[in-house]
Structure 1
Amino acid sequence: MSLTIELPAQYGYVFGTVTAIFFVNTYHSLLTGSYRKAAKVPYPICYASAEQAAKDPAAFQFNCAQRAHANFVENLTPIIATLFIAGVKFPVLSASLGAAWAASRVLYARGYTRNGPKGRFIFCEDSALTSRSGATHNLFALALSILSGYTSYSFIKQLW
Structure 2
Amino acid sequence: MSLTIEIPAQYGYVLGTVTALFFVNTYHSLLTGSYRKAAKIAYPNCYASAEQAAKEPAAFQFNCAQRAHANFIENLPPVIANILIAGIKFPVLSASLGAAWAVSRVLYARGYTRNGPKGRFIGAIHSIFGLAISILSVNTAYSLVKTLW
> What TM-score do you get using the length of structure 2 for normalisation?
0.99
Q: Which residue of 1 aligns with 2:12?
A: 12
Query: Structure 1: which 5+ residue stretches go unaligned?
Result: 123-133
Q: Which residue of 1 aligns with 2:77?
A: 77
Cα distance in 1 between the residues matched to 2:78 and 2:132: 12
Q: Structure 1 or 2: larger helix share?
A: 2
Cα distance in 2 between the residues matched to 1:15 and 1:155: 20
SS of equivalent residue, structure 1 residue 84: helix
Could you tell me which amino acid in structure 2 is paired with residue 110 of structure 1?
R
Query: Structure 2: which 5+ residue stretches go unaligned?
Result: none
> What TM-score do you get using the length of structure 1 for normalisation?
0.92
The equivalences for 1:7-156 within 5 A come to 7-122=7-122, 135-156=124-145
Cα distance in 2 between the residues matched to 1:154 and 1:106: 33
SS of equivalent residue, structure 2 residue 88: coil
The one-character-per-residue Cα deviations of 1:3-56 (angstroms, maximum 9, x if unpaired) are 111100000000000011100000000000000000000000000000000000
Cα distance in 1 between the residues matched to 2:41 and 2:4: 52
Could you tell me which amino acid in structure 2 is paired with residue 51 of structure 1?
E
Could you tell me which amino acid in structure 1 is paired with residue 32 of structure 2?
T
Count of matched residue pairs: 149
The one-character-per-residue Cα deviations of 1:53-97 (angstroms, maximum 9, x if unpaired) are 000000000000000000000000010000000000000000000
Cα distance in 2 between the residues matched to 1:93 and 1:109: 24
Seq. identity, %: 83
Runs of 4+ more than 6 Å apart? none
Could you tell me which amino acid in structure 2 is paired with residue 62 of structure 1?
F
